[in-house]
Amino acid sequence: MWLVAERPPRDWCKDPAWQLNERTAKSKQIPFATGVILVSGPVYQLWEIPLQRPSVVPSAVDSVDQSLLRSFLDPSEKVSKAALVCVAELAIDSGAVKTADACLPSGTILTFVDLATFPREFEQFVAAVKQNKLDTTEADVVRLIGHKKFRSPSLKAALRAMIRWGTSRDRTLRWLEKLCFKPTDFIRLARHSVFPPVQIHEEIRGLLGVVASARPKEILEIGTSMGGTLYLLTKAADEAANLVSVDLHIADETLFSSFGRKRQHLHVVQGNSRDSKMIESTNKRFPSGVDLLFLDGDHSYDGVKSDFLNYSPLVRDGGLIAFHDIVEDNETRYGVVTGGWSGGVPRFWKEIKSDYRHVEFVRSPDQDGHGIGVLFVGSS
């Protein structure tokens, strides 16, 4: 059962009774599996969203087996995720996929589908379209799944494609960088590149500002992902910095290694940050300590805590420790999956931050995850 509460009390977000999580659910004697979604309106009222596992549409496509959804459409065709979302939206419009709308406290209206029934309903919709049983014609769906046809060629899209292509090659990337003058320009370039940072623009800009004034020489990042933050850190770090980035899977070692400026040394290391050999070899890479430790790897509570315990002793007096995803996601706050995932980082951040002088970069306090926190280590 999912409850929707209309018109929450003023300052609801400061009222713990409205922040339904496992603990408050128990105290209100609501079964743990129940979630609350808040909508604005004239009266207080509770009613049910008749969905077993609500999830917003793009997250639903992420949460179910995408190859299964693709197989319903056309196994031989390369179907992009964006196309799957569009077909899901067509299915929702036709009524074939069961939905419920709700408005989050931020004012965003979200359409929820039921993860428990979504793949079957999606399959039935596609089958009905193929048999011409719906108003939506097969041509509509074919048009959506046709990879090239799906993206209408516009000048902006062509430019973006060129930038993407350009950023995948060392020489063209250097050339594109000549058009960047401020940190914001580099963030924009990275966002449209083949190595987009998994960050909110304002928040990473805030972190880069702190990093640029500290000019760290020794940098350790846990969580390389597509290389976006590693790239941006090379721009804010000292000209002769030594940067090491660790990830379970290094997507493109050649490209990432080319990020370093002329006198910088950059190493990407594949492996588990919690592995004792990894901790030992990373220690050896920083004989005189670390100036900036950026933790954006394993987001589970135990994961972020062990990265902190294993690598923070390396950080020198006057150094920085930055955490990404210090803001709770909607799943933790409301029990609703809307795409953000901060895991146990917000909890760990809350526990640790008051031991240090610190700063937070958060675009909006009720956003779905993200947020960067920086600890200033030592007395200076």
Q: Which residues bind ligand SAM (CB under 6 A)?
A: 197-199, 222-223, 225-226, 228-229, 246-249, 272-274, 296-298, 303
Distance, in Å, from the CA atom of 220 to the CA atom of 223, rounded to the nearest integer, reads 10
216 versus 303: smaller Cβ distance to ligand SAM? 303
Q: CB 225 → ligand SAM: shortest distance, Å? A: 3
Q: CB 343 → ligand SAM: shortest distance, Å? A: 10
Task: Name the burial class of residue 343, with classes exposed (0-12), middle (13-18) and buried (19+) by CB atoms within 10 angstroms of its CB.
Answer: buried
86 versus 230: smaller Cβ distance to ligand SAM? 230
Q: CB 296 → ligand SAM: shortest distance, Å? A: 4
Distance, in Å, from the CA atom of 323 to the CA atom of 304, rounded to the nearest integer, reads 9
229 versus 264: smaller Cβ distance to ligand SAM? 229
Q: CB 78 → ligand SAM: shortest distance, Å? A: 24
Q: CB 319 → ligand SAM: shortest distance, Å? A: 18
Task: Name the burial class of residue 365, with classes exposed (0-12), middle (13-18) and buried (19+) by CB atoms within 10 angstroms of its CB.
Answer: exposed
54 versus 223: smaller Cβ distance to ligand SAM? 223
Sign for the pseudo-dihedral over CA of 270, 274, 279, 285: positive
Distance, in Å, from the CA atom of 14 to the CA atom of 189, rounded to the nearest integer, reads 38
| 102 phi, psi to nearest 5 deg | -150, 155
Q: Which positions ≥6 away from 377 have C-beta within 8 Å? A: 312, 315, 316, 317, 318, 319, 320, 321, 356
Q: CB 227 → ligand SAM: shortest distance, Å? A: 6
Q: What is the DSSP letter of 318?
A: E
Task: Name the burial class of residue 373, with classes exposed (0-12), middle (13-18) and buried (19+) by CB atoms within 10 angstroms of its CB.
Answer: buried
Distance, in Å, from the CA atom of 30 to the CA atom of 360, rounded to the nearest integer, reads 34
124 versus 281: smaller Cβ distance to ligand SAM? 281
- Going by C-alpha positions, the residue among 288, 318, 281 that lies closest to residue 218 is 288
3-state secondary structure of 7: coil
Q: CB 294 → ligand SAM: shortest distance, Å? A: 7
